[in-house]
């Protein structure tokens, strides 16, 4: 790692001295220099892309120039704790103000803030908007000590976004009351509607927009049809991620608890997390996930925002998310360290039905529902598409790309078939139901009739007499389920009532007339995952992140053990001390002096001073 020279810009010097990096990544340098110069900005950068550096480096540079403190608006207590802990390890004076502090500690933070001793202060929006907090900001501004506002997770301000939080709406006060103090809004996900909403609600019309690439090439996207989903999940974990840290998302609290208990029974260390659990239980589970190796967190979307754990090797969805933004945000929590990771999802017809029903039954205005239906359609197109998942995902965010060669559709292109006639048979059968006294039935009964299965229910309703009885006997049950799911996803079918009976949509007429050709995915009769399909664990980029010989592996193992002890003694997750990539480079290069150790990426001046001699000792004795 080449150190900056004395003539290098202050931003590069801070990056090297404090954070231990020789150069910025991607758009970071341009963003940092723009903000240091006092410009407003809206930054869209994927999870793991280095958003935090985009405000932390300017905060330090501007503080050194006598411009005061940077106030970071953050929605989660856990995120504040992690960020402040990490900055403390770097020797950067930082603090947070939130409900986890006792009164005396909070007062001490306020004294440090007003005295100009802090470089960064983290606060939730509801805390920032209190009269007491605003009065402190007024005092800082009057003395020229209010440097910058950084608004993290800025998509929370938008009703069109996937995680709207009403308290974010009040942040317009930052522009109105503190004009002249630059503002930096950051988010990992925002489509055009959400982007426009952020700009309008935060009054960032004159801000410069930075849109980094949304591509996360280290993440492999896989979507499979539901077929005993818990067993599919277990097979996926055992075959691909045995002993790895991961997150499993479920839609309901009950499903979270059931899945976590089941995984534990099957020998997978899993913890539940949802908003209905006691706050202390949630805190304890989150701490274990962050600090221990190999924990699988089973959670609702209440978990995840701001989780900086770099070595999450997989994110799995047992239920369909609401939007591509949600899916992208949640899957982005995997592989923050740049090593190979998986985004795995299983979904079926019930997922499509449930999501559509939640939109239709909601109390939102019709224009909002219409937009949400469009977002769901885009997600379904991602799930049902035959082509590269990554191309479709990036296209949603307006970024053209080429086939990645690293998603399920690229690695094992799905078989497709001309399902036009099969679709016409299914739609005709539903039409016959309706003719027969306006009857409505669900997918199971429809498939029984199409396949000529003489169940009691089929006989009871006289459906053996229908002209469509048995006309689909040549199509398997699995294939019919796939056809119906895709017809619902394409909007030719919809569901009605509490029993989710199937009904024809307006576009079904075109299918029945044969005006539309339907090339659909061929159903997998028994979806398989495993080492034969994915190359197994040996073919994956597992930690350590760099190739190491036997001696290097011994050094890496010793460094990880030492790092774990330091993390426990400092009450921070081990990765806050050093990331695996930094330890792996130490193990490979085996520096013999402090100067050589300083050349390792990720070793800043404070960490070199605090840990340098200990690291050299561990390396020499390993």
Dihedral (CA of 540, 543, 546, 547) sign: negative
pLDDT given at position 265: 96
Q: What is the mean pLDDT of residues 29-39?
A: 96
Query: Taking 50 as the threshold, does the pLDDT of residue 374 lie above it?
Result: yes
Q: What is the mean pLDDT of residues 356-366?
A: 83
At 541, is the pLDDT very low, low, confident or very high (cuts 50, 70, 90)?
very low
387 and 261 in a single domain? The answer is yes
Establish if 363 belongs to a structural domain: yes
Q: Total domain count for the chain? A: 4
What CATH number corresponds to the domain at position 566?
1.10.150.80
Establish if 185 belongs to a structural domain: yes
pLDDT given at position 46: 85
Establish if 69 belongs to a structural domain: yes
154 and 271 in a single domain? The answer is no
168 and 226 in a single domain? The answer is no
Q: Which of 159-168, 253-262, 388-397, 572-581 has the lowest mean pLDDT?
A: 159-168
> How much is the pTM?
0.82
pLDDT given at position 184: 97
126 and 165 in a single domain? The answer is yes
**Domain closes at, from 386, 411, 436:** 411
pLDDT given at position 2: 64
Residue, of 1 and 309, whose pLDDT is higher: 309
61 and 189 in a single domain? The answer is yes
pLDDT given at position 544: 65
pLDDT given at position 1: 55
125 and 226 in a single domain? The answer is no
H helix count then E strand count, the chain: 28, 17
Establish if 99 belongs to a structural domain: yes
pLDDT given at position 524: 66
pLDDT digits (tens, 9 = 90+) for 554-577: 999 999 999 999 999 998 889 999
pLDDT digits (tens, 9 = 90+) for 138-185: 999 999 999 999 999 898 898 765 567 888 999 999 999 999 999 999
Radius of gyration of the chain (CA): 27
How far is 170 from 125, CA to CA, in rounded Å? 8
420 and 454 in a single domain? The answer is yes
Establish if 537 belongs to a structural domain: no
Q: What is the mean pLDDT of residues 21-45?
A: 95
364 and 336 in a single domain? The answer is yes
403 and 435 in a single domain? The answer is no
Establish if 141 belongs to a structural domain: yes
pLDDT given at position 237: 97
Q: What is the mean pLDDT of residues 181-191?
A: 90
Residue, of 177 and 49, whose pLDDT is higher: 177
Q: What is the mean pLDDT of residues 242-247?
A: 95
How far is 79 from 72, CA to CA, in rounded Å? 11
Establish if 366 belongs to a structural domain: yes
pLDDT given at position 3: 67
**Domain closes at, from 356, 387, 411:** 411
**Domain closes at, from 162, 192, 211:** 211
pLDDT digits (tens, 9 = 90+) for 85-106: 999 999 999 999 988 889 999 9
Choose among 38, 181, 84: nearest CA to 572: 84
Using an 8 Å Cβ cutoff, are 433 and 439 in contact? yes
Q: Which of 206-210, 213-217, 609-613 has the lowest mean pLDDT?
A: 213-217
Q: What is the mean pLDDT of residues 352-379?
A: 84
How far is 40 from 209, CA to CA, in rounded Å? 9
Give the position of tokens 């740049």.
Answer: 338
Percent of the chain at pLDDT above 70? 94
pLDDT given at position 99: 85
How far is 106 from 87, CA to CA, in rounded Å? 19
Establish if 536 belongs to a structural domain: no
Residue 249 has phi, psi (to 5 degrees) of -100, 130
Q: Which two tokens stand for residue 290?
A: 């962050």
Query: Taking 80 as the threshold, does the pLDDT of residue 395 lie above it?
Result: yes
Query: Taking 90 as the threshold, does the pLDDT of residue 303 lie above it?
Result: no
What CATH number corresponds to the domain at position 359?
3.40.50.300
pLDDT given at position 268: 96
266 and 337 in a single domain? The answer is yes
> What domain range includes position 25?
10-211
Arithmetic mean of pLDDT over the chain: 89
Q: What is the mean pLDDT of residues 440-464?
A: 93
Q: What is the mean pLDDT of residues 256-282?
A: 95
Give the position of tokens 């900005």.
Answer: 41
How far is 465 from 115, CA to CA, in rounded Å? 86
pLDDT given at position 147: 96
Region of 537 on the Ramachandran plot (φ > 0 left; ψ -120 to 50 alpha; else beta)? alpha
pLDDT given at position 356: 83
pLDDT given at position 532: 35
What CATH number corresponds to the domain at position 458?
1.10.10.10
Max Cα-Cα span within the chain: 89
509 and 599 in a single domain? The answer is no
604 and 506 in a single domain? The answer is no
């Amino acid at each position: 790692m080449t150190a900056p020279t004395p003539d290098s810009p202050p931003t590069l010097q801070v990056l090297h001295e404090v954070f231990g990096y020789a150069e910025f990544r991607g758009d970071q340098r341009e963003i940092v220099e723009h903000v240091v110069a006092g410009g407003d900005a809206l930054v869209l950068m994927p999870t793991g892309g280095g958003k935090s550096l985009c405000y932390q480096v300017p905060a330090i540079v501007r503080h050194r120039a006598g411009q005061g403190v940077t106030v970071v608006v953050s929605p989660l207590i856990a995120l504040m704790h992690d960020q402040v802990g990490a900055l403390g390890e770097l020797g950067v004076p930082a603090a947070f103000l939130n409900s986890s502090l006792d009164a005396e500690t909070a007062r001490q933070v306020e004294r440090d803030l007003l005295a100009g001793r802090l470089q960064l202060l983290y606060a939730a929006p509801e805390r920032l908007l209190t009269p007491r907090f605003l009065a402190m900001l007024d005092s800082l501004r009057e003395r020229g000590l209010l440097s910058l506002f950084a608004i993290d997770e800025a998509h929370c301000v938008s009703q069109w976004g996937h995680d709207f939080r009403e308290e974010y709406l009040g942040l317009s006060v930052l522009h109105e009351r503190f004009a002249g103090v630059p503002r930096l809004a950051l988010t990992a996900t925002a489509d055009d509607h959400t982007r426009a909403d952020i700009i309008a609600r935060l009054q960032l019309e004159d801000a410069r927009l930075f849109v980094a690439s949304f591509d996360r090439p280290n993440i492999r996207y896989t979507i499979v049809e539901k077929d005993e989903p818990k067993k599919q999940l277990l097979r996926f974990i055992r075959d691909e991620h045995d002993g790895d840290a991961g997150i499993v998302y479920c839609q309901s609290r009950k499903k979270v608890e059931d899945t976590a208990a089941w995984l534990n029974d099957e020998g997978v260390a899993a913890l539940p997390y949802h908003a209905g659990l006691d706050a202390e239980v949630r805190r304890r589970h989150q701490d274990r996930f962050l600090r221990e190796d190999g924990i699988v967190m089973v959670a609702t979307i209440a978990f995840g925002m701001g989780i900086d754990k770099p070595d999450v090797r997989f994110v799995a969805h047992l239920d369909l998310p609401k939007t591509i933004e949600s899916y992208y945000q949640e899957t982005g929590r995997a592989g923050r360290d740049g090593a190979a990771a998986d985004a795995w999802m299983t979904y079926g017809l019930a997922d499509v039905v449930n999501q559509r029903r939640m939109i239709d039954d909601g109390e939102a205005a019709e224009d909002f529902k219409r937009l949400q239906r469009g977002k769901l359609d885009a997600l379904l197109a991602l799930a049902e598409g035959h082509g590269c998942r990554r191309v479709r995902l990036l296209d949603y965010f307006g970024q053209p790309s080429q086939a990645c060669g690293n998603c399920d559709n690229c690695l094992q292109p799905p078989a497709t078939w001309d399902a036009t006639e099969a679709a016409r048979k299914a739609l005709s059968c539903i039409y016959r139901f309706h003719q027969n006294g306006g009857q409505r039935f669900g997918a199971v009964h429809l498939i029984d009739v199409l396949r000529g299965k003489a169940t009691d229910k089929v006989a009871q309703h006289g459906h053996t007499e229908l002209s469509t009885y048995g006309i689909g006997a040549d199509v398997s049950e699995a294939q019919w389920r796939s056809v119906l799911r895709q017809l619902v996803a394409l909007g030719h079918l919809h569901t009605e009532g509490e029993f989710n009976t199937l009904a024809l949509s307006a576009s079904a007429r075109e299918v029945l007339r044969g005006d539309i050709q339907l090339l659909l995915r061929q159903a997998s009769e028994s979806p398989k995952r495993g080492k034969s399909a994915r190359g197994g664990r040996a073919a994956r980029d597992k930690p350590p992140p760099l190739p190491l010989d036997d001696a290097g592996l011994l050094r890496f193992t010793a460094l990880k053990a030492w790092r774990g002890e330091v993390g426990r003694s400092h009450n921070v997750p081990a990765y806050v001390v050093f990331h695996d990539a930094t330890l792996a480079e130490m193990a490979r290069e085996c520096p013999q002096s402090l100067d050589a150790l300083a050349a390792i990426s990720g070793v800043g001046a404070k960490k070199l001073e605090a840990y340098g001699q200990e690291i050299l000792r561990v390396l020499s004795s390993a």
